[in-house]
């Protein structure tokens, strides 16, 4: 048999140049550890496709397939998509007719609220970061520090004044209220991230653009921004994940129409007095995972460049 590297290459894997690739033993070791970390996610996904009556069975059923006989038959269940259906429509009382659960609305809310607020934070934060990086104020670092302090307190500490403020100005329960809150919530992080990306850029390139006839606005849009695309992607994904999973603010500040999935999930599970419906919960969680998974997946090339940015030689 030829060497493992050429085998992998024949499969279409290109070896990173100049980097010694690990052998099979080490690769397997890392894969096992990675798998252990992935078990909770896998468990949720399997529970989501489990028949409801097997959710709490003893001994537990573990897998929808025996993996070529690897798993004994008594631990194998036959998969079903029923749970996903009942996320959106199910009977709310025993024996009642199926009703619309409103989860389509909640999923829309989650997607709408997080993408708009993270997008807004990215626009405002990037402009602010460029300002902090290129047009420093007296005491620039102090301002940056003050901005960071807005994120130092846990949400539970600031939630009461925020609720009172939102009530007073009538923002409770509205889209604009929760979007504004999440935008502010993401700004500190966005400004700090983007400032470090702008700080890394070569000032000469901007000077060259000025000499070549660019105004300050064009320098920003045509020269600086294209160079920090990786940073924008990384900041967007991190912000999105934080906002997507946020629970406390959403619980206390969103209304019936603007409820996000984490809040709705909590209510779907604890209402009805029938105990927790674990397979339903797992189905919601699995669906909840998909949007961020897709965004991260499609931006992953940028992401890698983004998080390793500072270490790359110019």
Partner 1 sequence: MSTIEIRKVTKRFGDFTAVRDADLSVAAGEVVCLLGPSGCGKTTTLRMIAGLERATSGDVVIAGRNMNELPPEKRDIAMVFQFYALYPALSVGQNIAMPLHYEKLSKAEVDARVIKVAKIMHLTEVLDRMPSHISEGEKQRLAVARAIVRDPNCFLFDEPLSRLDVELRHSMRGQIKEVLTGLSKATVIVTHDQLEALTMANRIAIMRDGLIEQVGTPHDVFAKPANVFVASFIGTPQMNLVDADLKSFDGKNASVSLAGNDLVIAADPAVSRLKPSKVTVGIRPRAFTAANEKAADTIAAQAELIEPMGAETLIHARTAAGGDIRVVVPRDKRVKIGEALHLRPDPKQTHFFGEDGKAVRA
Under the rule (CB under 8 A), what is the footprint of partner 1? 202, 204-205, 207-215, 223, 226-227
Residue with Cβ nearer partner 1 (70 or 211):
211
Residue 275: count of CB within 10 angstroms of its CB: 9
- Residue 263 phi, psi dihedral angles, 5° rounding: -70, -45
Residue with Cβ nearer partner 1 (82 or 200):
200
Write down the least CB distance from residue 104 to partner 1, Å: 40
Write down the least CB distance from residue 208 to partner 1, Å: 4
Residue with Cβ nearer partner 1 (52 or 227):
227
Write down the least CB distance from residue 229 to partner 1, Å: 8
Residue with Cβ nearer partner 1 (180 or 201):
201
Write down the least CB distance from residue 223 to partner 1, Å: 6
Residue 176: count of CB within 10 angstroms of its CB: 10
Residue with Cβ nearer partner 1 (233 or 253):
233
Write down the least CB distance from residue 204 to partner 1, Å: 4
Write down the least CB distance from residue 118 to partner 1, Å: 24
Write down the least CB distance from residue 178 to partner 1, Å: 36
- CA-to-CA distance for 113 and 56, rounded, in angstroms? 35
- CA-to-CA distance for 87 and 280, rounded, in angstroms? 6
Residue with Cβ nearer partner 1 (113 or 219):
219
31-55 as b/e, with b when 16 or more CB fall inside 10 Å?
eeeeeeeeeeeeebbbbbbbeeeeb
Residue with Cβ nearer partner 1 (215 or 276):
215
């Amino acid at each position: 048999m030829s060497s493992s590297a050429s085998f992998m290459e024949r499969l279409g894997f290109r070896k990173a140049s100049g980097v010694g690739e690990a052998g099979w033993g080490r690769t397997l070791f890392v894969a096992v550890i990675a798998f252990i970390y992935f078990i909770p996610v896998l468990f949720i996904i399997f529970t989501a496709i489990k028949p409801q009556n097997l959710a709490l069975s003893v001994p537990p059923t573990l897998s929808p397939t025996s993996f070529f006989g690897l798993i004994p038959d008594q631990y194998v269940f036959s998969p079903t998509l029923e749970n996903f259906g009942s996320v959106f429509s199910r009977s709310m009382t025993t024996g009642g007719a199926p009703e619309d659960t409103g989860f389509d609305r909640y999923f829309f809310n989650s997607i709408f609220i997080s993408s708009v607020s993270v997008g807004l934070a990215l626009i405002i934060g990037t402009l602010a970061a460029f300002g902090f990086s290129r047009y420093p104020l007296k005491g620039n670092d102090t301002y940056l520090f003050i901005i960071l302090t807005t994120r130092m307190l846990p949400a539970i500490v600031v939630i009461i004044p925020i609720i009172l403020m939102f009530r007073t100005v009538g923002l409770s329960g509205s889209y604009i209220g929760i979007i504004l809150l999440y935008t502010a919530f993401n700004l500190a992080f966005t400004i700090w991230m983007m400032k470090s990306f702008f700080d890394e850029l070569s000032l000469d390139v901007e000077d060259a653009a000025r000499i070549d006839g660019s105004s300050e606005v064009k320098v920003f849009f045509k020269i600086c921004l294209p160079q920090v695309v990786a940073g924008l992607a990384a900041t967007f994904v991190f912000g999105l994940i934080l906002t997507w999973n946020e629970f406390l603010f959403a619980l206390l500040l969103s209304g019936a129409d603007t409820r996000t999935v984490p809040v709705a999930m909590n209510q779907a599970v604890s209402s009805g007095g029938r105990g927790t419906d674990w397979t339903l919960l797992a189905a919601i969680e699995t669906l909840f995972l998909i949007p961020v998974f897709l965004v991260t997946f499609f931006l992953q090339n940028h992401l890698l460049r983004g998080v390793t940015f500072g270490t790359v030689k110019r």
